[in-house]
Structure 1
């Protein structure tokens, strides 16, 4: 099944955590927490995100890894689960080396047993889109 919608970042809070030992690279590694809100015909809810990136904001170059804890409704089924995603960018609109997976064993309530993958993209107008291609065990 596929559930899809749009999302907005409600908050982005950099954390004071720094990797140890310190290694000097061309892009520093940072850690932040995020809150997102999701809306759509088949997807509504919110998430808490742990976000790690090596990124140059001015050039738009870098990579990130995010672990999200989603709580909400997929196709009328309410519950929570974790998903992980990552990508790289070279400063253009495209994303490369993408990874997106629902964490096995993380589902609760009507989403217990959820498995699958998904993806996200940012439209030229700045709209953030997400989709989950998922399966649930028979009830």
Structure 2
């Protein structure tokens, strides 16, 4: 099965990161929580996201990792589940080293037993697109 749509970031709340012992690297590391809203013909809902990145805003170089807890509907089936995604950028428009997976065992209600993957794409106008390729029992 497939579901797709767009999302907007409703809130982005950075949190101080003070690892012990401190480690100095070439890119600053940050942590934030986010709320996102999803909409589309086959995807509606919201998510709570834990986001971390090592990133240089000016150069557009770095990587991120995100764990999301989604609740809503995929292809008309309502419930909740977790998914994880990550990617890297080297200053250009392309994303590399991408990973996207639905967390096994995390589905509830009509999404119980969900498995699969998906992906993200950001268009030149800044629209964030998301899709899920998933199976249900």
The alignment partner of 2:35 has SS state of: strand
Quote how far apart the aligned CAs of 1:92 are. Answer: 1.0
Distance (whole Å) between structure 1 residues aligned to residue 76 and residue 18 of structure 2: 40
- Count the aligned residue pairs: 137
Does structure 2 conserve the Cα–Cα contact (< 8 Å) formed by 1:19 and 1:29?
no
Where does 1:127-138 land on structure 2 (aligned, <5 Å)?
127-137=127-137
Distance (whole Å) between structure 1 residues aligned to residue 131 and residue 77 of structure 2: 15
**Could you tell me which residue of structure 2 aligns to residue 22 of structure 1?**
22
Residues 79-101 of structure 1 show CA distances to partners (whole Å, capped at 9, x for unaligned) of 00000000000111100000000
Does structure 2 conserve the Cα–Cα contact (< 8 Å) formed by 1:120 and 1:129?
yes
The answer to whether structure 1 residue 8 and structure 2 residue 5 are counterparts is: no
Unaligned runs of 5+ in 1: none
Unaligned runs of 5+ in 2: none
The normalised TM-score by structure 1 is 0.97
Which runs of structure 1 show a deviation greater than 3 angstroms over 4 or more consecutive aligned residues? Answer: none
**Could you tell me which residue of structure 2 aligns to residue 31 of structure 1?**
31
Quote how far apart the aligned CAs of 1:21 are. Answer: 1.8
Quote how far apart the aligned CAs of 1:118 are. Answer: 0.3
Provide the aligned C-alpha RMSD in A: 0.7
**Could you tell me which residue of structure 2 aligns to residue 66 of structure 1?**
66
